[in-house]
Amino acid sequence: MLDSLIPVNILIGDRTYRLKIEPSDEELVRNVIKMVNDKIVEFKTMFAGKDMQDYIAMVLIWLATEQRKEGNDLIRNKNASDKLASLESMIDRILEDHSK
């Protein structure tokens, strides 16, 4: 498993980190790092005078909030899907009863 990992250098804020990741995750990791760095720049323009640690903390809070929103949306979608499946089942039973 460790043999399949590839080394990548990523830059977050003003620091470089060396990670070992699955080759299949490389594009995802690079996209996430780009999003994080873009958010850091956005927060730097909104909140001048902070240090890099503050901006990174802001991005982490934003990311955690976004994850929670997406998680809640998934739960809501699952509940709606379950209700629709239940309604579909009821309609099927009604149609079967009327066709007899």
Given this model, what pLDDT does residue 9 score? 95
Q: Give the separation between CA 30 and CA 46, rounded to whole angstroms.
A: 24
Q: Select 2-99's CATH number: 3.30.160.20, 3.30.160.880, 3.50.50.60, 3.30.230.70.
A: 3.30.160.880
User: How many CB atoms sit inside 10 A of residue 55's CB?
Assistant: 21
pLDDT score of 83 more than 80: no
What tens digit of pLDDT does each residue of 1-59 get? 567 999 999 999 999 999 999 999 999 999 989 999 999 999 999 998 889 999 999 99
pTM: 0.64
Dihedral angle sign, alpha carbons of residues 61, 67, 71, 77: positive
pLDDT at 70: 64
